[in-house]
Structure 1
Amino acid sequence: MQTIIGSGGTIGYPLARELKKYTNQIRLVSRNPKKVNDTDELFPLDVKNLEKISDAISGSEVVYVTIGFNYNLKVWKDTWPPFLQAVINACKTHNARLVFFDNVYMYAKSAIPYMTEDAPLDPPSKKGMVRKQLHEMIMSEVEKGHLTALIARSADFYGPDTNKSVLAETAVKNLLKGKKALAFGNINKIHTYTFTPDAGKATALLGNTPDAYNQVWHVPTTKEKLTTKQWIELIANNLGVPPRIQKVPTWMLFIMGVFIPELKEFPEMMYQNESDYIFDSSKFEKKFGIVATPPEEGVKIMVDYLVKTK
């Protein structure tokens, strides 16, 4: 049995689809899980009910954590550590391997221009400190020999089967409505993105590769060094509309946050948009010989999906 906690999320869906290549026993855990494959086992769970985490993991050989909590610092502080501790405890009890899907918030500001798995963990943001705590919770158990686990890390993502990515929210949706795409920070800086189907494929492969455990992996991410402006132009070209862009200064996020609460959480993360943001996945590519989907192809797939589901 391989179990996905957070199966209804942006990464959970493509991961479930890819896991079918490795096993017919897949358990999907979320508040309202839905089958991705015909043989999937559904396990409805509000993960804040920590006492039930062990039941969800029981019988699992591999547990994937792809869940995302509300983008709010207080929620992260209150929810992430106890949830992850419950998962770690259950994995140890049931002798399950853990695959934790993570982001880059815990990296030092100095690492953002060129991130590798060896980048220093010294986050400048409060949300980054929460992510660093989660990393340390896992790797501490690994170093003690109490847990077999790996961390699969992704850059900002884009792709189909979701309308929650930054590019979807700020560019595709607005351009579809005849509005300007919104852009944060310096639009002439490079910003690499991870294509969600690539992330799902890589995470499934890592989880089913015994010697991939007890370390951090960057999932395949485009090597094409496109700027934020070029990403928006690529999206606009696929939509057949002019690439009109509205730059959003940091101070405006506080005003917009009155109407969209999540935007109040963005200012402390703006440093990731003020310099080049290059996410290196060479370690994975050398190990498995798999490279990321080209941006032109990935953007077309994303745009086609969002046009069909608007």
Structure 2
Amino acid sequence: MQTILGANGIIGEELVKELKAKYTSDIRIVGRNPKKINESDTLHKADLLKPDEVKEAVKGSDIVFLTVGLPYNSKIWLRDWEPLMENVIRACMEYNAKLVYFDNTYAYPQDAIEQTEETPMTSTGKKGIARATAAKLMLKAMEEKKIEGAICRAPEFYGPGKTKAFTNALVFESLKTGKKPKIFLRDDVLRTLIYTPDAGKAMALIGNTLDAYGTTWHLPCDDNRLTYREFIEEISTQLGRNIDYMVLKPWLINILALFNTNLKETKELLPRYAIDNLFISDKFKKVFPDFKVTTYKEGIKAILDDYVIS
């Protein structure tokens, strides 16, 4: 059995679809209010902050994928990521289940240096500290041979369906509602974005590849990075009309954050939008050369079609 802890976010959904398509029909979806993605899925209610419930959720699993998302709140992240990860690791140890953890780049320093699997987790932001704590617990358990594990790390998302990310919210959701797209800080720096179906497919592949355990993987992204200006230009080309947009400057963000909780929570991450973001996924591409990475052109088209934007 392959179990997904927190499967009803976009990454969990894409992962479950791929597992069913290529690897197994024996899938358990775990959450406080789990919902089936495939008709054959098994549902299991559990609170990952309760050790006994986590053990019951993991029991009988060969592979456990941790794709849970906590509420977008720094206090909650600092409070809950450490005990949640400890609970999952202990459960996997008890039942000898492999663990594959979906992580992000918040723990990395917010600079323009290329990010690889060896980049130190030295963020001073609250969310970055919380994610670093969780990742280090996982790495320690792997190094001490307490579990067979793999960390799958991804940069900012973009994608169809219920993808929740800054690019989707500020660009595509704005277009869908007839509003002007918005961009944080600058439109002339390079961004690395991961297409959410690619993230789910790559995570399923890693989890079902025996030799992929024991290390961290940067999930695959298109290396032909775009600036947000070029991103909007590609949207304009595909729609056949010029798309005007707004660059949100720091002073405006500070004002808007007074009335928007999510934006207030985002402020600690804003420095990365003023510099090139160079997330490197060469390791994955070398080991899995047949994996088809979605280009930005292809990804933008799929989102525009999904959002029914014309």
SS in 2 for 1:270: helix
Structure 2: gaps (5+ residues): none
Instruction: Please provide the CA RMSD for this pair.
Output: 1.6
Aligned to 1:55: 56
Instruction: Check the 8 A contact 1:176/1:239 in 2, yes or no.
Output: no
Aligned to 2:220: 220
Aligned to 1:137: 137
SS in 2 for 1:109: coil
1:240: how far off? 4.5
Q: AA paired with 1:72? A: N
Instruction: Check the 8 A contact 1:65/1:101 in 2, yes or no.
Output: yes
1:177: how far off? 2.5
Instruction: Check the 8 A contact 2:78/2:126 in 1, yes or no.
Output: no
Identity across the alignment (%): 38
1:101: how far off? 0.3
Q: Deviations over 1:150-209 (max 9, x none)?
A: 100111011112141221100011122232111102210000110111111100000011
Aligned to 1:274: 274
TM-score for the superposition, normalised by structure 1: 0.94
1:35: how far off? 1.8
1:115: how far off? 1.1
SS in 1 for 2:102: strand
Instruction: Check the 8 A contact 2:16/2:37 in 1, yes or no.
Output: yes
Aligned to 1:248: 248
Distance 1:115 1:243 in 2: 31
Q: AA paired with 1:280? A: I
Instruction: Check the 8 A contact 2:50/2:87 in 1, yes or no.
Output: no
Distance 1:172 1:238 in 2: 13
Structure 1: gaps (5+ residues): none
Distance 1:47 1:142 in 2: 20
Aligned to 1:162: 162
Q: How many residues align?
A: 307
Q: AA paired with 1:268? A: E
1:291: how far off? 4.1
Distance 1:158 1:128 in 2: 20
Distance 1:239 1:33 in 2: 37
Distance 1:249 1:46 in 2: 40
1:100: how far off? 0.3
2:113 counterpart of 1:151: no
> Could you tell which deviates more after superposition, 289-298 or 88-97?
289-298
> Could you tell which deviates more after superposition, 276-285 or 242-251?
242-251
